[in-house]
Amino acid sequence: MPHVTDGMPATPLWGAGWTKSSHSNPHGNCVEVAELTGGRIAVRDSRYPGGPTLVCARAEMAAFVQALKEGEFDEMTG
C-alpha cells in the first residue's frame, strides 16, 4: 500500500475494503469507509470513488460517529 495521506486520491487504495452504509440511497449519495493499515480509517464519496479521501485515526472517527449519534450536527441537516 502506498504512503497514505489525508486528501490523497482513493485510486492508490485499490486494496482497501470499502464499505457503504446500509442507509445509502439508491442514487449513490453516500460515503464509503475503509480500514487502513495502522488502524486509520479512510472516507470517500461513493459518487467519485477515485476522488480525494479523508484519512483519520480510529479514535477521531469514533468521536465523530458518537457526535452524530448524539445529534451534535442535527442543525446542519434540516
pLDDT tens over the chain, length 78 residues = 567 776 777 777 777 888 888 777 777 678 899 998 888 899 988 888 888 888 999 999 999 999 989 999 888 876
Residue position matching grid coordinates 485515526: 57
Alpha-helical segments (H) within 1-78: 58-69
C-alpha cell at 3: 504512503
pLDDT of residue 59: 94
pTM (two decimals): 0.76
Q: What are phi and psi of 35, to 5 degrees?
A: -85, 130
Contact (Cβ atoms closer than 8 angstroms) between residue 2 and residue 12: yes
Contact (Cβ atoms closer than 8 angstroms) between residue 20 and residue 32: yes
